[in-house]
Chains A and B, each alone.
Chain A
Amino acid sequence: MEVSRHWRLQAQRYQLVGETCDSCGVKLFPPRDVCLECEAPAQELYTFTGLGEIYSYTTIYDAPAGFEHNAPYMVALIKLEEGPLVTAQLTDMDPSEAQIGMPVEMVTRKLRTDGEEGMIVYGYKFRPAVKELTAV
């Protein structure tokens, strides 16, 4: 049974909590404690907005164990509006809809279950940005 390896990442998986570099100000996701750009300590937490666009994408037909149930599914590199890329599944869309540059937004979905009896792992995925924001 896998438990703690997912539990300890809940802030990242549920809320896209990354870091800001104290020194050069760059935003980091996933958090890594040492800045990717300037190698200074980066420890200030930063919650990303979850908005971004598709940088690259694929549809996985040959799924690894644990993901067969969802195949085919889409995985993308998402360019977050704060700068970093993040690897995440695309959801609520058909492969034919995807294109590089498409605006997407973060949602929380089931990533995988640890077998029939194990825990359900939830985390970020991205879907086409829902434009409608005003009452009808």
Chain B
Amino acid sequence: MNVSIIGLGQTEVKEMWDTSIRHLAWYAIEAALDDAHISKVDALYVGNMLSGELSQQNHLGALVADFAGMRGVEAVTVEAADASGGMALRQAILAVKSGLVETALAVGVEKMTDQTGSAVTAAMAYGLDADYEAMQGLTLAGMGALLMRRYMFEHGLDVADFAGFSVNAHANGAANPLAMFRNRLKPERFASAPLVADPVNLFDMAPAADGAAAVIVTSREKAMDMVPQPVEIAGSAVATDTIALHDRRDVLWLQAAATSVQKALAQAGVTTEEIDLFELHDSFTVLAALSLEAAGFAGRGEGWMLARDGEIGRNGRIPISTFGGLKARGNPMGATGMYQIVEVARQLRGQAGECQVEGAKVGMAQNLGTNGATAVTHILRVAE
């Protein structure tokens, strides 16, 4: 790809009542600039889903550029529902790769707590088909529930069969100081958690919260001169599917996820066997299972078995959600994809602390918008 990561930044994920969206973005940008030892970039891509709805603030590109001390820089907001973060990085990569931009910063930011209650639930459904899904009262969690119910039906499963995903996420989140939830989850309590959208319960669903994460990219040659440990973007691919579940050819097959993984693997010249860790979009446990299947780590209907069999842990066959994933680290919608990139890069730098997957050389991140309508897959590799 000839594009490398030279800076990483992220905030805690939690309810930050005293922090505005511009401050959130700035904290992540500041950390990434410090990490890269620079003070400015040539272009800024802000991944965000809900600032217009929840904070009455659009035009984040100009707002954040100004607030981050980069007035005048090229800047724009990138929106692809909860895949906005991954998509912002994608735009930064395209910009650098094109040669028109030397150094680009992608920041994902979401301020969920400027409103509360049913307004937030309604806003989270803005990524659904407004006329044919949301007007029927379907929510993002409801969509996850329709997937989960059908998955359980086709494969003869119970809610408890999904427990392994959340138990793993919480075990990893417990070791991540920035995670929203740092408590371990007792498997036996999983199936009896309060329902959000039957069968999706509070332990199935990732919690929405505030957060921001940022990544700075530049060309590989320049990166080598700038930082000791550049992480190479080995693959970057995006694919889309229908937003509405009812329009998908196969409800239980994430075609966009599969397509973007195949493209990214081909670009990177690696196979799934060579992927050392996978930050997937576990906004619902069933989505983790479906992502593992679409990526080729499990056969159709078998993704959940990886959780049952302990294959997704730090020492398993394919570690996922290594810093807690969306489930335990927390899910700041439009920022989530950027957290995934920061987390994979930290693993490859060997800076993951207690969350470290030993010897990680190649990592994959996949950010899904509206349960697979947009899939952004990135493969990162330790620079040689």
Contact = CB atoms under 8 A, between A and B. Distances in A.
Interface stretch (B95-103, B141-149, B161-169, B209-217): B141-149
A61 B251 contact: no
Give the interface residue-count category, chain A: 35 or more
Given A59-B198, A65-B119, 15 more contacts: A30-B132, A36-B242, A58-B146, A58-B197, A61-B196, A62-B139, A62-B197, A64-B134, A65-B117, A65-B121, A65-B122, A66-B118, A87-B146, A87-B245, A100-B150
Contacts of B134: 64
Contacts of A9: 131
Interface in B142-195: 142, 145-147, 149-150, 153, 194-195
Nearest to B147: A56
Interface string A26-61: 000010100010000000000000000001111111
25 contacts: A55-B251, A56-B251, A57-B146, A58-B145, A58-B146, A58-B199, A60-B137, A60-B139, A60-B142, A61-B195, A62-B196, A62-B197, A63-B118, A64-B121, A64-B125, A65-B119, A70-B137, A75-B142, A75-B146, A77-B150, A87-B129, A87-B146, A88-B136, A89-B136, A100-B153
Nearest to B199: A58
A121 interface: yes
Given A75-B142, A84-B246, A59 B153 contact: no
Interface of B: 117-119, 121-122, 124-125, 129, 131-139, 141-142, 145-147, 149-150, 153, 194-200, 242, 244-247, 249, 251
B245 A64 contact: no
A63 B137 contact: yes
A103 interface: no
B149 A58 contact: yes
Nearest to A80: B246
Contact of B251 (A30, A75, A85, A112): A85
Chain A CB within 10 Å — which of B132, B133, B136 has the most? B136
Given A58-B145, A62-B141, A87-B245, A30 B131 contact: yes
B121 A58 contact: no
Chain A CB within 10 Å — which of B149, B244, B245, B246 has the most? B246
Given A5-B131, A65-B118, A59 B246 contact: no
Contact of A111 (B137, B142, B150): B137
A111 B131 CA distance: 12
Contacts of B124: 64
A88 B146 CA distance: 12
Interface of A: 5-6, 9, 12, 30, 32, 36, 55-68, 70, 73, 75-77, 84-89, 95, 100, 111-112, 121, 123, 125
Nearest to B205: A62
Contacts of B129: 87
B137 A77 contact: no
Nearest to A56: B150
Contacts of B246: 77, 84-87
A10 to B, nearest CB: 12
Contacts of B138: 60, 75, 87
Nearest to B146: A56
Chain B CB within 10 Å — which of A12, A57, A64, A123 has the most? A64
B54 to A, nearest CB: 12
A32 B244 CA distance: 12
A77 B146 contact: yes
A136 B5 CA distance: 76
A11 B133 CA distance: 16
Given A64-B139, A65-B119, A87-B136, A56 B247 contact: no
Contacts of A85: 245-247, 251
A68 to B, nearest CB: 5
Contacts of B149: 56-58, 100
A127 B249 CA distance: 25
A30 B246 CA distance: 9
Contacts of A123: 135-136
A64 B123 CA distance: 8
Given A64-B122, A87-B133, A58 B153 contact: no
B200 A111 contact: no
